[in-house]
Amino acid sequence: MSKQFKSVQETLEKYIPAEELSEVKRILYGYNRGQHVKSIPICQEALDLANKNNFEIVASKVEAEPEQLRKPRIVRLGIIQNSIGAETTAPVQDQYLAIEAKIEKMIDAAGAMGVNVLCLQETWHMPFAFCTRERYPWVEFAESATTGQSIKFIQRMARKYNMVIISPMLERDEVHAGTIHNTAVVVGNNGNIIGKSRKNHIPRTGDFNESTYYMESTLGHPVFETIYGKIGINICYGRHHNLNWLAYGLNGAEIVFNPSATVGELSEPMWGVEARNAAMTNNYFVGSINRVGTEYFPNEFTSGNGKPAHKDFGHFYGSSYFSSPDNCCTPSLSRVSDGLNISEVDLNLCQQVKDKWNFQMTGRYELYAKFLEDYIKPNYQPNIIRDPSMK
């Protein structure tokens, strides 16, 4: 991991002269209320936890304009990226416990920083073994969304810190024949389970052989109303689907988390673009979370591209960050370390940006609904008007 490039931001800061850096950052990362996104202090307790347990913390704040009739709605959001804690050859329970031990320290740091809403990465409690196409032991990580050990742990942490925690996990649905799903459970600040969302788009690209394990969600685009705000979860590959983002927005989400697992070769140039675009066009905050590190599996697998068999997915590049409805984004965590990214946001900004840009008012939903209704018919003819002078 140590040979990996650390972060774009660090490189910009190292090599670009200060007066130009300010402009470069304005253009790349946007302004919040006419200024660069501000950082906020990290308390000593959180710093000590980070130093002792080898993770980084970055913390920022995104402000809204003061209003006459509404009070600010200040909420601290947190996102956690982590590498696995033990070799993938270790017993399943040991692998789980090693990850849980890391996450506990990071949630403690989030608690010390007063985080209100926290989201973990996609299937945080296990290695991302879906490249292997092997069933065992990987499906043994799947757990009940209500009684599994990972959700019990998350409920305990939510209660401890009065925090809403989103736990993206591999779910075994005991009621439905033990089928497996890629799920995110929303745990309320009292440790209660508010509900769950599932992955709508299952990748069929690269080594992401997830369709071997689970099917697409049938739960739609639920938005969970919590004491800290309205939350949607667009799991990983769903971030390439604009209508998926749109649906969470139209259902009223103020914060959408995108818990992910993706690798440099496949998607890194898209990472900084897609979530920001979604935040800007749907006027909500987005927390983008990617796992970090390289995970090696015991047996080789191929990618179906004629290249040699291998035992790893490639490097999960971390870089977890927040995007804001006003099109600014916060600093990212690095590409190489476990980390906690915190942003204190004012949810009033969502409505303020809606009022400024009027995307919802100008959206032609009836036009798109009609188009899609026609498009999905087997006899659909694409509306192409061909230049009659072409041979």
Ligand X SMILES: NC(=O)NCCC(=O)O
Residues contributing to the site for ligand X (CB under 6 A): 122, 203, 208, 236-237, 260-262, 266-267
The token pair that represents 218 in the structure block: 């049938």
**CB 234 to ligand X: min, Å:** 11
Nearer to ligand X, 229 or 287 (CB): 287
Q: Is 236 a catalytic residue?
A: yes
Q: For 88, how many CA atoms within 13 A lie in the half-sphere containing its CB?
A: 20
Nearer to ligand X, 223 or 263 (CB): 263
Polymer length in residues for the chain = 391
Cα angle 173, 239, 59 (rounded to 5 degrees) comes to 100
Hey, which residues does 35 pair with through a beta bridge? 32
Hey, which residues does 195 pair with through a beta bridge? 186
**CB 236 to ligand X: min, Å:** 3
Choosing from 25, 63, 122, 143, the catalytic residue is: 122
CA–CA distances in Å: residue 124 to residues 98, 102, 259: 12, 11, 9
Q: Is 122 a catalytic residue?
A: yes
Choosing from 236, 328, 329, 350, the catalytic residue is: 236
SS3 32: strand
Q: How many CB atoms lie within 10 A of CB 40?
A: 14
Query: Would you say 343 and 62 are in contact if contact means Cβ atoms under 8 Å apart?
Result: yes
**CB 3 to ligand X: min, Å:** 22
**CB 268 to ligand X: min, Å:** 9
User: Which residues, other chains included, contact 307 with Cβ-Cβ below 8 Å and sequence gap of 6+?
Assistant: none
Radius of gyration of the chain from its Cα atoms, rounded to whole angstroms: 21
Nearer to ligand X, 113 or 170 (CB): 170
**CB 108 to ligand X: min, Å:** 27
Nearer to ligand X, 60 or 267 (CB): 267
Choosing from 102, 196, 199, 230, the catalytic residue is: 199
Q: Is 199 a catalytic residue?
A: yes
Strand segments, DSSP code E, in 131-222 are 164-173, 179-187, 193-198
Main-chain dihedrals φ then ψ at residue 333, nearest 5 degrees? -70, 170
Question: What H or E segment, with its residue span, contains residue 339?
Answer: strand 338-346
SS3 113: coil
**CB 218 to ligand X: min, Å:** 18
Buried b (16+ CB within 10 A) or exposed e, 44-53: eebeebbeee
DSSP H stretches of helix in 207-256: 242-250
Nearer to ligand X, 109 or 119 (CB): 119
Nearer to ligand X, 121 or 343 (CB): 121
Cα angle 110, 113, 118 (rounded to 5 degrees) comes to 35
Hey, which residues does 338 pair with through a beta bridge? 55
Nearer to ligand X, 111 or 287 (CB): 287
**CB 125 to ligand X: min, Å:** 15
Residue with structure tokens 């970055």?
58
Q: Which residues participate in catalysis according to the annotation? A: 122, 199, 236
